[in-house]
Structure 1
Amino acid sequence: MVDAFNFIKWHYMFHGGRVLFFSILVFALRLGQSFIQCFQAIWIWLSCFMMYTLFKRKRYDIFVALVTVTCFGSLSMRGLIDSVFWYTASVIFFWPILPMTIGFLLWKKGLTNKKTTFGCALAFFIAAFSEEQWAVAIICAFVILFVWDVISKDVVKAKNVVYISGVTGALIELLAPGNFVRVDETSFYDMGFISKILFKTPLIFDVNFDLSNGVEILLLGFTVLVVISALMIGRKRKILIATNIIISLLLLLVGFVNINASVKLCVRIVYAVFIAFEIGASCIL
Structure 2
Amino acid sequence: MNQPNYYSSQGFDRLDRYRDDPEWLQAMLNAENSRLLPVWRNKHLVNRQQRPISFPGNRDAGLLALDGELVLLGSDPDGIVWLALDISHLEQPTEHLPARPEQRFEDLRVVGPLLDHRSGALLAHARAMTYWHRQHRFCGACGNPTKSTRSGHMRVCSNPACGRSHHPRTDPAVIMLVHDGDYCLLGRQPSWPPGMHSTLAGFVEPGESLEDAVAREVSEEAGIRVTEIRYHSSQPWPFPSSIMLGFYARAASTAIQVDGLELESAGWFHRDQLLNSPENEQFHLPRRDSISWRLIETWMHGEHCD
Shorter-chain TM range is: under 0.3
Q: Which has the higher helix share?
A: 1
Q: Which has the higher strand share?
A: 2
TM-score of the aligned structures, taking structure 2 as reference length:
0.22
